[in-house]
Amino acid sequence: MNLTKEQIKSDYQKKLISLFAEDLEESSVLHQYIALAELVKEYSFERWMKTNKRYKKEGTKQIYYFSMEFLLGKLLENNLINLGIKEVVREALDDLGIRLEELENVEREAGLGNGGLGRLAACFLDSMAALSIAGHGNGIRYKYGLFKQKIRDGYQVEMPDDWLRHGYPWEIRRIDKSVIVKFGGYVYFTNENGRFTAKHEGYEEVLAVPYDVPIIGYGTETVNTLRLWSAEVKSRDFDFESFSAGEYTKAVEHKYSVESISQVLYPDDTTEKGKLLRLKQEYFFVSAGVQSIMRTFKKSGRSIYDFHKYVAIHINDTHPALAVAELMRILVDEEYLSWEDAWEITTKTMAYTNHTIMSEALEKWPVDMMKKLLPRIYTIIEEINRRFCQELMDRYNNDWNKVDRMAIISGGWVKMANLAIVGSHSVNGVSKLHTDILKYQELKDFHEYYPGKFNNKTNGITHRRWLIKANPELTNLISEAIGCDFLKNPRELINLEKYKDDKSFLDRLEKVKYNNKLKFADYMKKTQGIKIDPNSIFDVQAKRLHAYKRQLLNILHVINLYNEFLDNPNMDLLPHTFIFSAKAAPGYYLAKKIIKLINSVGEKINNDIRVNDRIKVVFAENYNVSLAEKLIPSAEVSEQISTASKEASGTGNMKFMMNGAITLGTLDGANVEIYEEVGDENIIIFGMTSEEVINYYKNGGYHSWDLYYQDRRLTRILNELDDGYFAPRGEFKEIFNHLLTYNDEFFVLKDFASYCDAHKKINELYKDRFRWNRMSLINIAHSGRFSSDNTILEYAKDIWFK
Ligand code: 26V
């Protein structure tokens, strides 16, 4: 954008007045931030409008990414970077005596996601806009995002994330684009003019109001749209009917019940709980999204039979899988298409990404619940299922077991993954390994039935947020060395490789890392009052807390180091800071105990003067996008230690790599591809392979008690857990039981020895600063392969524009 400093200064001051009737002197930092955000949004408006006009005029195929979660993070700085006006805005503000950083600090991040899946959706939006692909998001405008985490006495405490309290300057409420979503009621079938017709009556109407957020492309004129739906009562329902009857409280209750649909993001990404409100949320944003797409499409005047040529709908995990049935409903009930025609259009429109093989997280809904809440949708799913099962019976000679496994409705449940697979033309996993596990294990039946439907799209991350924004010093160093092409095309990072033996360059790389460590140490001091030694190794595990991600393995190793160090204070051990950051689902008991264990171990070690800061354990509270942007650039060791086969891909692993951390990991998810990319000497791999893990599962696991008796280190650690060494006796009973009584489902004890060896290797390698920095540089140089721009180009080529 061509904006001068003077122009910005004048626009900005006018904005303050028009919004708040204040000048600079009187305004608070909050108002100064809001005014700047509003101004930046306004700067994007012309491009936004032009983008939409261009799409319309050129008849561009529109991609809609349906996702229950979009973990956007803060937008101010990214939008400034993407518009190319960050520096000139900074200068303008400087002139006015305002520091840009100070305004950035008051922004509340949009935390509308749990973890990897939601952040991936946000990276994809950023990439689609940067690549000028007409790709838009469709989701829910939760009033409360993922809870805020506090640590009290070592325990996690959850607090509501009231992110909209001061308003959200990046959105536009578009009441004129609202649609009605219908819940409940009953369905009957009639013969209308010779056509078998479904009638849906007695339903409740909910108003879906869209809030649009501009998604500004970097280095292009493209501005796409993220549309987030909010549930409201129709004004008629609230104001007149109940009011005039004098039923004020009833009206208010009704209003709350309707609004509850978009009130809160479900914070449990571990177990599927079959909650009615969750099902309401799913249908709510799916129905609103599909209706609004159809409305736009109809305005184009094109034939409905060409719908799939102009529209692609991407289903992010099974959460939006009802889109299959909703599009069928509209095509059959409202557009009067035959079932066969509607089905062809629907399957050609839909594509589905699977993000987990953890069976507890696979969504299924009780038939009775769905029938009651979504009677018409249920009859459609029934018919899809009936036809599908018929095909299966023909093909498999009435092999009932197989048909039952693959059926969409079975045993009183509606299985959402099966619906998504049957209703889509493409099913993809999110890393090579994950896709293979889907094809040859988890979804084997489907892969055999639909060869060619399955494909891999390894995840990626946007370097605009995770390098340019999060790590400006590193970005500058790289630009000095290889020029600025990598800003536009992150694959160019590979050119850094030519510095891999350049001692003076590697020293500068080390210095950048050191400065980022200082910054993070400073942040921890300010926010949690914790002192960290910037000369210690920053060993970081930051991600959601899940048993399969094995934060437990990490902390058991820390305990072991502590034990060994107390036995032998002369042992060869560089100063280490073990940094953990993780939220546990509020109802996930074991995960919360592991947080408590990390904090209890930290408490003991950090206060033991014998250890003399050789080992320090730190828990960084409230892991979210903003914290990740500070923490990741400071990391030297990236802990990616999930039980092999369990982590579908991981994306944190890629972020750490791009910022020069060395991966300490298992051959799981995208770690496998990182390993292939950087080579054996530039990554530390340990533990069982996915094949070994899967074989153990097939044979009923292993005997963890044996290891407890055999490995003296484990005997001691587990006894310490049990006997009150770190916290009053009984506190860690469940962890002890999980590992021994319940046979260590995730092979923590089994991988322990190999993990300890890997750490020894790290300790050795780190002493050779040249060697370590060389590894770091090679990781950065190869990280372009994991840019979400690549990933999106593959989705476009193989799925959306095939
Ligand atoms: C599941 C559920 C289950 C029902 C209730 C609410 C809820 C919310 C979220 C989820 C999603 C779990 C799946 C997930 O986040 N998978 C992660 O996706 C990342 C992006 O593909 C991938 O890198 C991680 O390996 C994978 O665990």
| Per-residue pLDDT, 243 | 65
Cβ(780)–Cβ(473) below 8 Å: no
* Residue 435, domain member (yes or no): no
Element spanning 583, H or E? none
| Per-residue pLDDT, 75 | 98
Element spanning 236, H or E? none
Supply the range of the domain harboring residue 199. 60-74+109-361+420-424
Pocket test for ligand 1, best of 69, 318, 355 (most atoms within 8 A of CB): 355
Query: 181's torsion region: left (phi>0), alpha (psi -120 to 50) or beta?
Result: beta
Question: Does one domain contain both 210 and 331?
Answer: yes
417 CA to middle of ligand 1, Å?
Answer: 13
Residue 67: both structure tokens together: 């996702």
* Residue 1, domain member (yes or no): yes
| Per-residue pLDDT, 2 | 85
Q: Which amino acid is at 686?
A: F
Last residue of a domain, one of 400, 424, 448: 424
Give the atom of ligand 1 at the shortest distance from the alpha carbon of 650: 23
| Per-residue pLDDT, 242 | 65
268 CA to middle of ligand 1, Å?
Answer: 10
Element spanning 160, H or E? none
Pocket test for ligand 1, best of 269, 457, 643 (most atoms within 8 A of CB): 269
Q: Is 159 helix (H, G, I), strand (E, B) or coil?
A: strand
Question: Does one domain contain both 83 and 179?
Answer: no
| Per-residue pLDDT, 507 | 98
| Per-residue pLDDT, 240 | 60
609 CA to middle of ligand 1, Å?
Answer: 41
Strands (E), 335-421: 350-353, 364-366, 409-410, 413-415
Atom 15 of ligand 1, residue of closest alpha carbon: 117
Question: Does one domain contain both 98 and 192?
Answer: no
Question: Does one domain contain both 175 and 298?
Answer: yes
357 CA to middle of ligand 1, Å?
Answer: 10
* Residue 600, domain member (yes or no): yes
Question: Does one domain contain both 123 and 9?
Answer: no
Question: Does one domain contain both 590 and 630?
Answer: yes
Atom 18 of ligand 1, residue of closest alpha carbon: 117
Element spanning 214, H or E? strand 204-216
| Per-residue pLDDT, 361 | 78
Question: Does one domain contain both 538 and 598?
Answer: yes
Pocket test for ligand 1, best of 114, 117, 583, 788 (most atoms within 8 A of CB): 117
Question: Does one domain contain both 100 and 149?
Answer: no
Over residues 645-700, the pLDDT tens digits come to: 999 999 999 999 999 999 999 999 999 999 999 999 999 999 999 999 999 999 99
Residue 147: both structure tokens together: 């809870």
Element spanning 225, H or E? strand 223-232
Domain containing 525 — which CATH number? 3.40.50.2000
Atom 7 of ligand 1, residue of closest alpha carbon: 269
Cβ(39)–Cβ(11) below 8 Å: yes
Q: Is 397 helix (H, G, I), strand (E, B) or coil?
A: coil
Pocket-forming residues, ligand 1, beta carbon under 6 Å:
114-117, 120, 266, 268-269, 272, 317, 355-356, 361, 363, 430, 459, 647-651, 669
315 CA to middle of ligand 1, Å?
Answer: 13
| Per-residue pLDDT, 270 | 77
> Catalytic residue numbers?
355, 543-544, 549, 651, 655
Would the pTM of this model clear 0.95, i.e. be above it?
yes
> In which residue ranges of the chain is pLDDT below 50?
none
Among 464, 475, 438, 468, smallest CA distance to 453 is for: 438
Cβ(327)–Cβ(333) below 8 Å: no
Residue 253: both structure tokens together: 């209750």
Number of other CB atoms surrounding residue 737 within 10 Å: 13
* Residue 185, domain member (yes or no): yes
Cβ(477)–Cβ(434) below 8 Å: no
Question: Does one domain contain both 116 and 159?
Answer: yes
Over residues 621-642, the pLDDT tens digits come to: 999 999 999 999 999 999 999 9
| Per-residue pLDDT, 249 | 81
Number of domains comprising the chain: 3
Q: Is 172 helix (H, G, I), strand (E, B) or coil?
A: strand
Output Rg (C-alpha) for the chain, integer angstroms.
27
Question: Does one domain contain both 121 and 45?
Answer: no
Atom 6 of ligand 1, residue of closest alpha carbon: 269
Max Cα-Cα span within the chain: 91
Question: Does one domain contain both 65 and 95?
Answer: no
356 CA to middle of ligand 1, Å?
Answer: 6
Among 495, 323, 337, smallest CA distance to 422 is for: 323
Sign of the four-CA dihedral 11, 12, 18, 21: negative
Question: Does one domain contain both 252 and 262?
Answer: yes
Sign of the four-CA dihedral 74, 76, 82, 88: negative
* Residue 39, domain member (yes or no): yes
* Residue 172, domain member (yes or no): yes
